[in-house]
């Protein structure tokens, strides 16, 4: 007899079971080594009464930033992909930087190219995909520095952290059905 209120799979979710993919540039996700599923907060409204204000669920959800850590490759390709994306969005030197960011391979400008969709695959203990977190309209707004230090005795390879904003995310199973 099945117990519908009991957990059927008693394996624990592993912290190393993930893969991140970003549509805009595959170099970014290749060495990803740490990521957090962003939290979300539902706003609260106050309902007035003659005696006390009562908190009730609001109607606005705030999403935390999506933060991805990755190992920087020797040629700085993945780091520069993010650096150039942020630079293109902010165009600190000239307007061409933004134009280059939003121009497709055919030379046609499309402002949607400043964003990218991304997905975080969650893997089970057998490294099979069990769910995906699908992010809509990602764009980076911060990347950490790279600090060189000649006094280090053990080589620790560089990691960088990039912070993304996005419109919304959804969680689906391996077949694309909402969980």
Under 8 Å CB-to-CB from 104, ≥6 apart: which residues?
110, 113
pLDDT at 134: 96
CA distance 18 to 130: 10
Pairwise pLDDT comparison (126 vs 165), residue with the higher score = 165
pLDDT digits (tens, 9 = 90+) for 135-155: 999 999 999 999 998 888 888
Pairwise pLDDT comparison (34 vs 31), residue with the higher score = 34
pTM: 0.86
Under 8 Å CB-to-CB from 21, ≥6 apart: which residues?
29, 118, 119, 120, 121
CATH of 18-46+53-173, one of 1.10.3470, 2.30.110, 1.20.58, 3.40.50: 2.30.110
pLDDT at 43: 94
pLDDT at 177: 93
Which helix (H) or strand (E) is 133 found in, with range? strand 129-143
Which of 19-28, 58-67, 151-160 has the highest average model confidence (pLDDT)? 58-67
Statement: residue 1 has pLDDT above 60: no
pLDDT, average across residues 128-136: 95
End-to-end CA distance of the chain: 25
Statement: residue 28 has pLDDT above 80: no
For strands 66-71 and 129-143, give the pairing. unpaired
pLDDT at 68: 93
pLDDT band at 70 (very low <50, low <70, confident <90, very high): very high
- Averaged pLDDT score across all residues of the chain: 90
pLDDT at 7: 74
pLDDT digits (tens, 9 = 90+) for 79-113: 999 999 999 999 888 888 888 888 887 888 888 98
Phi, psi (deg, nearest 5) at residue 153: -90, -30
Give domain limits for the chain: 18-46+53-173
CA distances to 36, 60, 71, 108, 175 from 68, rounded to whole Å, are 7, 25, 10, 30, 24
């Amino acid at each position: 007899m099945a117990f519908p209120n009991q957990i059927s799979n008693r394996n624990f979710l592993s912290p190393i079971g993930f893969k991140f993919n970003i549509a805009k540039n595959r170099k970014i996700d290749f060495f990803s080594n740490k990521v957090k599923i962003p939290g979300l907060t539902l706003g609260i409204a106050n309902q007035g009464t003659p005696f006390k204000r009562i908190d009730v669920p609001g109607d606005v959800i705030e999403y935390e930033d999506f933060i991805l850590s990755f190992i920087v490759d020797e040629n700085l390709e993945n780091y520069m992909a993010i650096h150039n994306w942020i630079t293109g969005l902010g165009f600190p030197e000239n307007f061409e930087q933004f134009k280059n960011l939003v121009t497709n391979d055919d030379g046609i400008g499309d402002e949607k190219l400043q964003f990218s969709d991304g997905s975080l695959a969650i893997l089970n203990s057998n490294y099979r995909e069990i769910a995906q977190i699908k992010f809509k309209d990602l764009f980076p707004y911060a990347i950490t520095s790279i600090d060189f230090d000649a006094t280090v005795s053990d080589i620790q390879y560089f990691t960088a952290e990039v912070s993304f904003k996005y419109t919304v995310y959804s969680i689906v199973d391996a077949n694309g059905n909402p969980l």
